[in-house]
Every structure is written in C-alpha cells, then in structure tokens.
Amino acid sequence: MILQMSPFISGPTLLSSYRLNPLLFSKRQRCMKLPHWHFNRTKQRFFAVAAAENNKDTLPKTFDFTSEERIYNWWESQGYFKPNFERGSDPFVISMPPPNVTGSLHMGHAMFVTLEDIMVRYHRMKGRPTLWLPGTDHAGIATQLVVEKMLAAEGIKRVELSRDEFTKRVWEWKEKYGGTITSQIKRLGASCDWTRERFTLDEQLSRAVVEAFIRLHEKGLIYQGSYMVNWSPNLQTAVSDLEVEYSEEPGTLYYIKYRVAGRSDFLTIATTRPETLFGDVALAVNPQDERYSQFIGMMAIVPMTYGRHVPIISDKYVDKEFGTGVLKISPGHDHNDYLLARKLGLPILNVMNKDGTLNEVAGLFRGLDRFEARKKLWSDLEETGLAVKKEPHTLRVPRSQRGGEVIEPLVSKQWFVTMEPLAEKALHAVEKGELTIMPERFEKIYNHWLSNIKDWCISRQLWWGHRIPVWYIVGKEEEYIVARNADEALEKAHQKYGKNVEIYQDPDVLDTWFSSALWPFSTLGWPDVSADDFKKFYPTTMLETGHDILFFWVARMVMMGIEFTGSVPFSHVYLHGLIRDSQGRKMSKTLGNVIDPIDTIKEFGADALRFTISLGTAGQDLSLSIERLTANKAFTNKLWNAGKFILQNLPSQNDISRWEMLLAYKFDEEECLCKAPLPECWVVSKLHMLIDTVTASYDKYFFGDVGRETYDFFWSDFADWYIEASKARLYRSEYDSDAIIAQAVLLYIFENILKLLHPFMPFVTEELWQSLRKRKEALIVSPWPQTSLPRHMSAIKRFENLQSLVILI
C-alpha cells in the first residue's frame, strides 16, 4: 500500500511486472551500513537453495590461488602474450625496465609489473597488437659482488683467477640462478612475450653497445680524461650517482690551525675530514669577510707537511658562517673544491690510493687507512699544538648502495660522454610534444636536470660487463684505437704503426646504465634498422618506471634514442611512486617492514596484491598494509561468490531453447533496453555509463579511478542491489519471462564486469569467464566492451528514488 501511494514511484511498472524481494524489508536489513548495503548476509541460504533446485554445476567454495600458475601457463601456451595483427595494425609496445639478474622480486618490481600489465591487457582487449618485451640487466657491480662472495665461501679471491676464469664463473652463476626474478615476475601475471626475452649481455645487445660507443666516439662525444668521480674503495671502481646513497650520521668537526707564512698569525679551519689536508692546495675566505681580508694574497703552511706552502685566496663560494669562515681547498677529495680549483686554475693533489689508504703524498701517514689516518693525524696535531678543538657535527655521508662503505670523491682517469648536445635534443622532444611525461609536474625536474647536465662517466673498473672497445698500443699507452673487435683493432694498428705492433684492450667495462640507455631499440634489433621487430615496433609507445630514475635511465634513453635512431624511443612516460608501509615509511630490512610479494601472493593471491597496488596515483607514493590486502582479498571472494550465484542460476548447457531465449536479449540496443523492467533498465544503464567512464580513465592512465569506480559499481550497484533484487523472480518457473530477463541481465552485467576488471585481476576473472557457459574465446583476448551504449537516465533516477525509500524504511 505504501508503494502504491508513494510519490517516489510513478506508473505500475514495479508492481505489475516485478515483485520486490521481501529481503529488502526484512528485520535484518534495518541494520544496513553505508556505503555498501550488505544484503549478501542472506546469500548463503539462497546459493544453497539455487544449487539444490537447479541441480547445476557449481564453482568451488573459494578461488584457489594455486590455480594461478595453471592459468598463466595456459595463456602462454596459447600464444596470447604475442602481438597479434589480425584485429589491428597500431601496436602498443612497452619495454620492461630490466630488473637486475641478481635480484629477487620486491614490491617495487610488483608495482611496475602490475601497472604495465594493466596497460598491456587493456590494449590487447582493445584489439591493438601488443608487445611487452621483457628482459634482465647484467647489473655489473651487483653481480660481481654476488659471485665474489660465492668464491670467498670457497676460499677463492677474484684476483687469484684470470679475467676469463672469473667471467666464466659469473656466466655459470647466471645460468643457475639468473632466472629467479623472471619466474617471480610470471607469478604476478605479467603477460610478456617471453619468446623475445632479452639480457643486456646477449650477443645482439652487446653488438649494439659497441656500435653506440664507436658512433659517439667518432662524433667526438666520448673522451678520456682525469676528473672527479665517486670512488668505491672496496669495489675498486667508480660508481654512478645513482649508486651513492646519502645518510645523516653523527660525526665530528675538527678545528685546525694553519700558520701564516712569515708571520706569527694562525688561521683556523674547520673540517670533517682532516686526513685530506695533505691534499690542500689553498685556503679560501670570503672577500666580504673583514676578519681575514688582511691575509688574502699571503701564504699558509699546511700542518704535518714539512712546511709546504699554499696560497690564501678569496672567493664568494666560501660560507662565512660555516666553521671559522676559513676553508681548506682539497680539490682531489671534494666535489665542490674540485670545481673551485678548476675555475681558479689551482692544481689537483691526490693523497689517496684506490683502496682508501693514503699514498706517498701523506708522508709518514702513507699506507694508513683513511679512517686510521684521521685518528693518528688528530693525535699528532694535538701533540704539536695545532689542534684547536673538535665538536659533534651531523654529516651527510655518501655510502655505496652495493657495499655500504663510505664513497671517496677521487680524481681518476675515466671515459666520459659529452652530454650537453644530447640533452638539448631531449629537451626539445618535450617542448615539441613528442614526449609526454606523466604526471606533468615531473617535466620540470626533467628539464632542470637536462639543462644543468654534467658529462657522464661511463667506465667502471670491473670484470663483468661490456668491455670498453678500446685498444692501447704497447709502449705508446697515450695512443689508442677504437674498434668493433680485436681483429679490427689489430688491423687498424698494423696500418698505422706497422706489423710488429702489439695491442691490448682497455680492462674497464662500461657503466651498466650505458647499455640500459639503448634498451628500447637494442632489444628490437638495432643497429640493424631493417630487422622486422625494429620496423614493426619502434618507436615504442610507453615507458613505465619509478620517478626516482627519471634522469638516470629515462632521460638517457631519450637522448640515446634520438641520437641513434632519429626518434624519441617512446611517446609516453608514466612514473609511479614508491611503495611504503602503513606508516608511510620506506620499506627496509633495517626497519623490518618489508612485505615480500611472493609471500603476499601465497596468502592473498596475485589479484588482491595487484588490485591493492594499482589504486595509487601516478607519481605519488603508496602506503601498503595488510588491512588493504585483506580487504581486496575479500573483494576477490565477493567476485567469486557472485560468479557462483550467477552460474547456479543460469540454464543448463543442454537447455538450448532457454539459452536461445536468454541470448535473444540485446541490451546494447536501445529498443531492448526500453522494454526492460525498471531494475534491469537501471543496472544496465549504470553499466553502460561505467564502461564509458572506465574506458576514458584507462585511456588517461588513471588506473586508481578505474579500480575504484569498477569496485563501487560491482559491490554497491550489482552485488548489493541488483543480485538481491533478481532473486525473487529467479525462483519462479524456469520459463517465466521475468526469470529469463533476470538471467540475461546477470550474465550481461557480469561478463562486462569481468572484462573491465581483467587487466587488474587477470586470474580470478579468467577463471570465472571460463566457468560461464557459451564462452567462445579466452577473456585475455576477448573484445573490450563497446562505449556510448544506450542508457536511460529516467530509469536511473526512479530506481535511485526506490533505493532512498528502502534505506529510509
């Protein structure tokens, strides 16, 4: 009676053709909680009733996570991961950021694998030929360290082996353990084309590296010189800025007196590294500092150096407020001092050996470790009365990311790439719109780095990696030959120096980032520009990676791509943030807050993990917690239970006539939708609106919006309202028209939900898809839902009025 009189409902539609589910008005429903009205509390009884009444096949109680590997292997065996040009000609191509071959899966890997797989699966369903090209990086320093530790356990030191013997052991290790990270990436559901998997030391990629070096050298962009680098005393190699981590640590500020030559005056300096005073080449003061203006132009005597004199100079670089306002200039062991010395034409004096001990310049301190020398020097300064005081001081200490030891700024002879002309072209690519960086705010960082770029040190003093293609002339080491191989080098040497000449190759290898910078095109066959893959798939479409390597990797790929191919290597860059713990802290073994992806998959399933970490926003860090994983595991179960209910209430496979009646409904047509009862018209209209919204968000790479919108529709509109509302008529006669249209809508909505969610949750959606009858193809390659389908706003409004009424009651 209330419904007949209610102003919220117009016309006889609801009462004449649809029976309200009495559960909507049951006593239990008075305790409903928003935003999700948990009508599923009574579903268990209905599932059991439906199964008993219809005697149909049912799914297992829950989705079995162990079936994920079975599903994945089936996809791969069917060739679904390979690009298919039958449905389209415009390929979508991503080059996977190659993880270190030494690595095991961490949440950073899980993040990029999930996001890239979402992109690839979406575009595959859209009909585009998709290529996600996987591979691993040889990780020069990391791999050499791992193998050296393995050898140490056998009582063997690397230097006791020849270079060839050592690299042979590394290759043996790689063959045995190098596939770990690949198998773990597969557990996440990565739909890569594994037939195209690459390794940065593959023959083809190594050929590309040599070719790149030679071409840059021929253009005068590669040179050799002695410059300041980050030196790792333990690893005995230069390391990149990326491999140096700075930490705030307690230290000491030492105050030391320098006598002014020819006078009784002293100037007191403050330093955190007194052992480097043996490399002092000047004392500097600010020209505006009246305390020291009288000493400018005089000489000072460096303590403990047997009277070595250095000039007292002025430069505005000196901070009057730090320490005493007098700065010791040690350009051989400080980046800022090095730049100042080069500007002023001061000499460079190195006091350190490659192993971190002091050299002959340090006199009596020669051979001492740098930290031992610091202690002894301070003690001797105290004895001579030149030590003023020392006080606690917080230091920003550079440490090796690999070994953990303190990095030593050191002037060393290395190979460099001149970056400025390369950077100019990369800047123009963004300016001209050839490259889009997401989020847009990172364009400023990109532009700042490239506008202030320094030359790139590309040589490393290692045995594992791409050997620098340079050969020296025995007896004339200042001269060298650049060649593609030893035979070509010898032939060039014979032509220039005669048949009796002897040559030897540079022992250094190239920075790992050098080969990584060529990754988007070397993996497709470059320098052979006629290779099929290069012609079909280059330039690539998308580069997805962490924002922390925007410069170290992304910008270098852009520079090298333009230089060697004439094209920007990808049109879009998507940058994700870091995964942090529930308190917003960076995950680390020290804090004990690391969440292991493989353990997480075993407990919650790959789909729940993927859905959880895909709900973030581009460029922003994501907090991960067990609570979120648990909630999204519940979402997986909710999806599974909905599938069970629908499967139990569909006609049997052999009931051909009923299936024909059911499939006769074409809800993508205006006429069919108009004739549908209010609940069906409402939920189908909402679905069609969702498809448009979600597709637009996919195209904009707003994956968090996709996940949340689809989740809300499935849980609130479909599960909480429509499934509950459909039950009353599902239990009528099998051939009742109301029951048939309810079955048709349940199937139509559910299969479209599975499609929308598949890029996020590939395993459970594929399993449910295969369980539904009348499937013609795998979900992974099924067409994406059409957009701009009919919807009835009046039906949506009327049903929303009904919802409001029910909630009020």
Domain ranges, ordered by start, for the chain: 244-400, 626-808
CA distance 178 to 201: 13
CA distance 197 to 568: 22
Tell me if residue 138 falls in helix, strand or coil. coil
Tell me if residue 3 falls in helix, strand or coil. helix
Report residue 587 as tokens.
């995950």
Amino acid at 484: R
Report residue 541 as tokens.
């479409």
Work out whether the CA dihedral 759, 76, 633, 592 comes out positive or negative: negative
Residue 282 CB burial class (10 angstroms; 0-12, 13-18, ≥19): buried
CA distance 411 to 424: 28
Q: Are the C-beta atoms of 684 and 4 separated by less than 8 Å?
A: no
Residues 6+ apart with CB under 8 A from 411: 226, 227, 228, 229, 331, 332, 338, 348, 350
- Cα dihedral angle (334, 339, 345, 349), rounded to 10 degrees? 20
CA 466 from centre of chain: 24
**What is residue 620's DSSP assignment?**
S
| pLDDT at site 589 | 63
N-to-C CA span, the chain: 14
Largest CA distance in the chain: 114
**In 649-736, where does DSSP find H-type helix?**
656-663, 670-675, 678-699, 703-712, 724-730
Tell me if residue 677 falls in helix, strand or coil. coil
**pLDDT for 694-747, tens place per residue?**
999 999 999 999 999 999 999 999 999 999 999 888 876 656 788 899 999 999
CATH fold of the domain at 626-808:
Isoleucyl-tRNA Synthetase; Domain 1 (1.10.730)
User: Packing angle between helix 556-565 and helix 203-218, nearest 10 degrees?
Assistant: 80
Q: CA–CA distance from 68 to each of 65, 71, 542, 763 (Å)? A: 6, 5, 27, 6
| pLDDT at site 734 | 58
**What is residue 717's DSSP assignment?**
I
Kind and range of the H or E element at 373? helix 370-384
Residue 73 CB burial class (10 angstroms; 0-12, 13-18, ≥19): exposed
Query: Number of C-alpha atoms within 13 angstroms, CB side, residue 704?
Result: 11
| pLDDT at site 266 | 97
Work out whether the CA dihedral 519, 520, 522, 524 comes out positive or negative: positive
Q: Which residues of 286-297 are buried (b: 16+ CB within 10 A; e: fewer)?
A: beebeebeebee
Kind and range of the H or E element at 431? helix 420-431
Cross-strand bridge partners of residue 587:
none
Report residue 585 as tokens.
């802290």
DSSP string, 152-169: HHTT--GGGS-HHHHHHH
Cross-strand bridge partners of residue 249:
395
Which residue in 709, 744, 712 sits closest to 726, CA to CA?
Answer: 744
| pLDDT at site 102 | 87
**What is residue 85's DSSP assignment?**
-
Enter the pTM of the model: 0.86
Q: Using 70 as the pLDDT threshold, list the residues of the chain that sit under it.
A: 1-57, 588-590, 732-735
DSSP string, 436-469: EEESTTHHHHHHHHHHT---EE-EE--SSS-B--
CA distance 535 to 538: 6
Q: Is the peptide bond before 539 cis (omega within 30 degrees of 0)?
A: yes
Work out whether the CA dihedral 405, 407, 412, 418 comes out positive or negative: positive
Which residue in 5, 9, 6 sits closest to 794, CA to CA?
Answer: 9
Q: CA–CA distance from 515 to each of 211, 540, 583 (Å)? A: 11, 17, 37
Strands (E), 160-308: 198-199, 222-232, 237-239, 244-260, 266-271, 282-285, 299-301
| pLDDT at site 18 | 38
User: Packing angle between helix 597-604 and helix 626-648, nearest 10 degrees?
Assistant: 40
Q: Looking up tokens 């690949």, which residue turns up?
A: 182
| pLDDT at site 555 | 97
Report residue 540 as tokens.
């690539």
Q: Are the C-beta atoms of 455 and 418 separated by less than 8 Å?
A: yes
Which residue in 420, 522, 501, 471 sits closest to 198, CA to CA?
Answer: 522
Q: Looking up tokens 């005068």, which residue turns up?
A: 220
CATH fold of the domain at 244-400:
Isoleucyl-tRNA Synthetase; domain 2 (3.90.740)
CA distance 753 to 763: 14
Kind and range of the H or E element at 570? strand 570-576
Q: CA–CA distance from 658 to each of 662, 663, 664 (Å)? A: 6, 9, 10
Report residue 395 as tokens.
């230091």
In three-state form (DSSP H/G/I as H, E/B as E, the rest C), the secondary structure along 500-568 is CCCEEECCCEECHHHHHCCHHHHCCCCCCCCCHHHHHHCCEEEEEEEHHHHHHHHHHHHHHHHHHHCCC
| pLDDT at site 774 | 74
| pLDDT at site 5 | 29
**What is residue 97's DSSP assignment?**
P
